Structure 1
Amino acid sequence: MTADETQAPDPADETAGDAASDDDPEIELDAVYDAIDAVGRPHLTATELSRKTDLTPDEAREALETLAAEGDIQRQDVADIDSVWYPADLAEVTDRERVVLFPDRREIVVEHPHQFTRAQLSQFARLQDTNRSGGYVYELREEDIWAAPHESLDDLLATMRDVLGERSPHLEEWVTSQWERARKFRLYTHEDGYVVLEAENDDLMGNVARQKLDDDHLRAPISDSESWVNADATAAVKRTLYEAGYPVRDDRELETGDALEMELRLRLRDYQADWVERFTDQGSGVFVGPPGSGKTVAAMGAMAAIGGETLILVPSRELATQWRDELVRHTTLTDDDIGEYHGGTKEIKPVTVATYRTAGMDRHRKLFDQRKWGLIVYDEVHHVPSPIHRRSADLQTKHRLGLTATPTRESDDEEEIFTLVGPPIGTDWGKLFDEGYVAEPEVEIRLVPWGSDTERSEYATTSGHGRRQAAAGNTGKIEEIQYTLEQHPAAKALVFVEYLDQGEAISEAIDVPFISGEMPHARREKLFDEFRRSERDTLLVSRVGDEGIDLPDAELAIVASGLGGSRRQGAQRAGRTMRPAGDARMVVLATRGTTEEDFVRRQMRHLASKGIRVNETESEVVETPVDGE
């Protein structure tokens, strides 16, 4: 056919119709959702869509009609205004993730965040609050930027942009200033062997360091930007400058001491090997990972990589014994290589496991100072900022390694952990959940009615700690515990309580031993061993079970009462179920209509920040009429 013979397309021709439709306005459904987000309600008009896109009002109306014909959205005609359009599935809008930044307040509000989003946010922001409708409020603080686990500023900004979906010049300028602020001072070893504090410039040394530090810290000036440091005061120097807003890098060349010959008997997981590599590159750090992720094994890998005599500091005798057993089981070390130093026994060997309390006592301290440690491991390192444990940070060592699942403290001084020991080294919790290394727990806050009118009245007439204890000891929780255990008859369960009277009452009601600090050490160990060997399937435990005790097969944790709103305690108790195999479930009981509701929500905040879904429900136990009803 020649050009003269070309015909106009037949309107009935299917191919021609398709070609003509190429000029029709089109829009993706996601763009409609984005426009709905911007409008701030679950519906919009064609005019509102046109304002949020490049379409004219007529084009927007045609695009909406096309989506309606495909069944993706629906139309509602409203008198005197444009038709209203809304998604066919409203849940796609109401439950959709939304991230809203308030740069001036340095706050990020996220509605219905995905697990990955929460994991990303935890790298540079602190979860401040959650609400029952799925909202999360994060705050960016100076110390969060200082301790961000990124190798470069560009990496940190890339993560932030990925979460926020946009650049915020105002916020990024502040983040950049804080990142640079954390690199203004450093400690290093002079070629003649003494310690030097170096500032980025003369002004910082003169107007910050020499104003904040006295003769006990600085022996003499070396130059306008350098000072000779008292080697025994390096921890105090770092702490003082940190409090002034200037974290200090520690690049000292410390002696490793005698060599330690040891090898691991098992293969590190990929992420554990990455932790060890990052630690050896940096020379110090804190392994931060969920319970069950193998931080102890990774620490053994660090010990083998360093190859120097090692001091391991722990909060309890039970944990000291566990460390010794694990070292013998998983490394080439023998009992003769390992010493324990605490109230029960006192031996210093190439690998020594000591309690924080004993190592900090003046009469024992010289023994630890005289040894040139290649590595000090701070287990449950979140204790270090406390007055009793802080003295251990002054012990001299070439390398410092902290271990914790929960670097949070209710005193909000957790930044001292990273100042005194080293920067955080960890892996996204969600990745470990997805790969099956750690079981993601199902966490449920369950609101329980009062057991009697008398208890309710006592709560109303008390205040402060008495009111909190009254809500915690609500006898209505006993029936809830019995019901929960009956619902999971095959699960190995731990029931946690805060108060001795409550523990004794529950113990009698469910016929389970109550393990507390008042129970003799030998009896406690016997009961824990029976639980490990599945000779017992339920234990009732006070705060002594929060940390430092290996209970690897627990599948159900029931929290009858807790330590106020301690986020760390909440995560530790959930961690008793977070093992690679089996189910993991945690039920936190709170007396309905009391301040305990707010306490338990706060306790679960750390878990929520790591991407774990926390659900809130009402008691399923039929409420028995209370006194006078």
Structure 2
Amino acid sequence: MPQVKHQLRLDRGTLVMKDVPEVVMPLFQWDARSQSYRAKGQDYRAIVEGLKKGNVPFRDEAAGFLKLELDFSREITPYPHQQQALASWKRAGRRGVVEVPTGGGKTLIAQLALRDTPRSALICVPTLDLLAQWYSGLVAAFPDANVGMLGGGSKDETPILISTYDSAAIHAEDLAGRYALLICDEVHHLPGDWTRVIAEMSIAPYRLGLSATLKRSDGRERDLDTLIGPVVFSCSPDELAGTSLAAYRDEVIRVRLSPSEQQRYDDLIRQRNDFLRLNNIRLGTIEGWKKFIMSSGSPQGRAAMLAHREAKSLAYGTEGKLRVLEEILANHPEARTLIFVNDNATVYRISREFLIPAITHQTGAKERVAILDRFRSGEYQYLVSGQVLNEGVDVPEASVAVVLSGTATEREHIQRLGRILRKSEGKNAVLYEVITEGTTEERVSQQRRGQWQPRRELNLEELNAPD
């Protein structure tokens, strides 16, 4: 048997060839240290397809994929949007991103993709909560499959492996050649400096990204085109409301600072802005924020930063918002209600004054599970939280959400809305966004709603009006 001239192997997350055929040369770079040509692991599919198209014989020593026998045990008919998402992903060569609102069944889409692509698979998730949820879901969907976990004290080596992004990044070199299918939940985390190596080193020819919204503050969501693939399917909460998601309305309530609060707010913003002007700092960009943070090391900069934070706290925690919260809760006496705020201090204040259970990043795992279980059973009707319930937590069914602060980003809005959109018989969900007039909170909320228009806006006086 004649010796094959060209060999493709994997070394420390990069593909190596000693003699590169012309048809794939643009994908490789010369490495003088190893006296060989190297390419990113993510280019494996393009390299193999290029070699085959050019009729170049080669030996593939890089791939360690396994073909699986998967018995899908779930007897469920996917919603039309899930079927469309799966079909679109397949048409795109089993590479790409699916953007579906929270509550829209992203996990089932991934399970169907795995069912129809029965190869060794690596699933990356951002949190330990999601690690456990995905493990339970895959074991239930594929009872005969060998499913393992990487992270949270587990270090399995299984054909189907669920890992946190952090753990997958640490072990990216070892994982690079084992998995043919890479699934990234909450895929907007992937383009970060630390986590992107998972996709860059992996030679997985099939890739699926899942997210409720892809936008990042640094604009790196555009890197997903090369890391995972283009967006192949996208839908909004409005498109699914009343079908696969509960019908809902999104209402804005404006409150005003008291005269003394407004005066203090104006003074603080003036102090901050005077410093920004003197130092030619613009806060509308990431670079501007970095410069502001760096300048806070000086006495003047620290005073300006403290003024900024106090002004923000005034806008987020005005007494008027607590009065609105009281009225909202009174208007929904039977509804399970989630309350979101921006900072832990306000979380604990609401918890004390309204006698409502609270969850923050300081809440232990066991206590968090116990609180959510009691919320699920109805023992607790209300729950207040900071940002820990925005993402990666399977919050039990609720029908009312109140956002008292933290309204800046589209992602945060969609994630919080998704917490109340789990469909049930006769359910009509409502999200209240409470913002403070005459503050930057109002401006950033208006900017976001340029893309997410509420159905109706309310003044405080309208809150008690009948539907």
TM-score, normalised relative to structure 1: 0.57
The answer to which of 273-282 and 249-258 deviates more is 249-258
1: CA distance between counterparts of 2:242 and 2:5? 47
Q: Which amino acid aligns with 1:575?
A: G
Q: How does 1:352-501 map to 2 (within 5 A)?
A: 352-361=161-170, 364-369=171-176, 371-394=177-200, 395-429=202-236, 432-433=239-240, 436-450=243-257, 452-462=258-268, 463=272, 464-501=308-345
Secondary structure of 1:376's aligned partner: strand
Kept in 1, the 8 Å contact 2:88–2:233? The answer is no
Q: Deviations over 1:491-548 (max 9, x none)?
A: 1111011111111111111111220101111111111122223322211011110010
How far apart are residue 288 of structure 1 and its match? Answer: 1.2
Secondary structure of 1:607's aligned partner: coil
2: CA distance between counterparts of 1:570 and 1:494? 13
TM-score, normalised relative to structure 2: 0.76
Aligned equivalent of 1:530: 374
Over 3 Å counting, the alpha-carbon distance change for 1:550 and 1:352 in structure 2 is same
How far apart are residue 343 of structure 1 and its match? Answer: 3.0
**1:502 and 2:346 correspond:** yes
2: CA distance between counterparts of 1:494 and 1:355? 27
How far apart are residue 571 of structure 1 and its match? Answer: 1.1
How far apart are residue 324 of structure 1 and its match? Answer: 1.1
Q: Which amino acid aligns with 1:415?
A: R
Secondary structure of 1:388's aligned partner: coil
1: CA distance between counterparts of 2:175 and 2:23? 35
**1:557 and 2:401 correspond:** yes
2: CA distance between counterparts of 1:574 and 1:191? 57
Over 3 Å counting, the alpha-carbon distance change for 1:224 and 1:543 in structure 2 is same
Which of 75, 78, 83 is residue 266 of structure 1 equivalent to? Answer: 75
How far apart are residue 447 of structure 1 and its match? Answer: 0.8
2: CA distance between counterparts of 1:467 and 1:258? 57
Kept in 2, the 8 Å contact 1:219–1:227? The answer is no
1: CA distance between counterparts of 2:156 and 2:89? 28
Q: Deviations over 1:465-502 (max 9, x none)?
A: 44223211222211111111111112111101111111
Aligned equivalent of 1:115: none
Over 3 Å counting, the alpha-carbon distance change for 1:592 and 1:553 in structure 2 is same
Aligned equivalent of 1:541: 385
Aligned equivalent of 1:154: none
Secondary structure of 1:389's aligned partner: coil
Over 3 Å counting, the alpha-carbon distance change for 1:298 and 1:343 in structure 2 is same
**1:347 and 2:156 correspond:** yes
Kept in 1, the 8 Å contact 2:252–2:432? The answer is yes
Over 3 Å counting, the alpha-carbon distance change for 1:313 and 1:236 in structure 2 is closer
Q: Deviations over 1:281-301 (max 9, x none)?
A: 412111111222211001000
How far apart are residue 602 of structure 1 and its match? Answer: 2.9
Over 3 Å counting, the alpha-carbon distance change for 1:593 and 1:434 in structure 2 is closer
Which of 419, 429, 434 is residue 589 of structure 1 equivalent to? Answer: 434
Q: Deviations over 1:400-446 (max 9, x none)?
A: 11001101122222211233111212254478436611224311121
Structure 1 runs (4+) deviating above 6 angstroms are 215-221, 235-238
**1:289 and 2:115 correspond:** no
2: CA distance between counterparts of 1:497 and 1:250? 50
Kept in 1, the 8 Å contact 2:341–2:386? The answer is yes
Over 3 Å counting, the alpha-carbon distance change for 1:220 and 1:401 in structure 2 is same
Which of 600, 604, 607 is residue 445 of structure 2 equivalent to? Answer: 600
Q: Which amino acid aligns with 1:584?
A: A
Which of 351, 358, 366 is residue 514 of structure 1 equivalent to? Answer: 358
Over 3 Å counting, the alpha-carbon distance change for 1:434 and 1:603 in structure 2 is closer
Secondary structure of 1:387's aligned partner: coil
1: CA distance between counterparts of 2:440 and 2:416? 20
Higher relative contact order (CA 8 A, sep 6+): 2
Aligned equivalent of 1:570: 413
2: CA distance between counterparts of 1:344 and 1:454? 52
Secondary structure of 1:349's aligned partner: coil
Structure 2: 5+ residue runs without aligned partners?
30-36, 53-61, 273-307
Q: Deviations over 1:345-378 (max 9, x none)?
A: 22232221111012112xx334323x52021110
Q: Which amino acid aligns with 1:500?
A: N
Over 3 Å counting, the alpha-carbon distance change for 1:255 and 1:305 in structure 2 is farther
Q: Deviations over 1:127-158 (max 9, x none)?
A: xxxxxxxxxxxxxxxxxxxxxxxxxxxxxxxx
How far apart are residue 222 of structure 1 and its match? Answer: 4.6
2: CA distance between counterparts of 1:390 and 1:605? 30
Aligned equivalent of 2:132: 321
Equivalences, count:
394
2: CA distance between counterparts of 1:470 and 1:360? 39
Structure 1: 5+ residue runs without aligned partners?
1-189, 196-214, 239-247, 623-629
Kept in 2, the 8 Å contact 1:568–1:606? The answer is no
Kept in 1, the 8 Å contact 2:172–2:198? The answer is no
How far apart are residue 558 of structure 1 and its match? Answer: 0.7
Q: Which amino acid aligns with 1:338?
A: V
Q: Which amino acid aligns with 1:303?
A: L
Q: Which amino acid aligns with 1:546?
A: N
1: CA distance between counterparts of 2:18 and 2:401? 54
Q: Which amino acid aligns with 1:373?
A: Y
Over 3 Å counting, the alpha-carbon distance change for 1:469 and 1:348 in structure 2 is farther
2: CA distance between counterparts of 1:541 and 1:381? 24
How far apart are residue 316 of structure 1 and its match? Answer: 0.4
Q: Which amino acid aligns with 1:548?
A: G
Over 3 Å counting, the alpha-carbon distance change for 1:574 and 1:250 in structure 2 is farther
1: CA distance between counterparts of 2:190 and 2:374? 32
1: CA distance between counterparts of 2:49 and 2:398? 42
Secondary structure of 2:181's aligned partner: strand
1: CA distance between counterparts of 2:172 and 2:81? 36
Aligned-residue RMSD, C-alpha = 3.2
1: CA distance between counterparts of 2:450 and 2:128? 30
Q: Which amino acid aligns with 1:350?
A: P
Kept in 1, the 8 Å contact 2:255–2:437? The answer is yes
How far apart are residue 220 of structure 1 and its match? Answer: 7.9
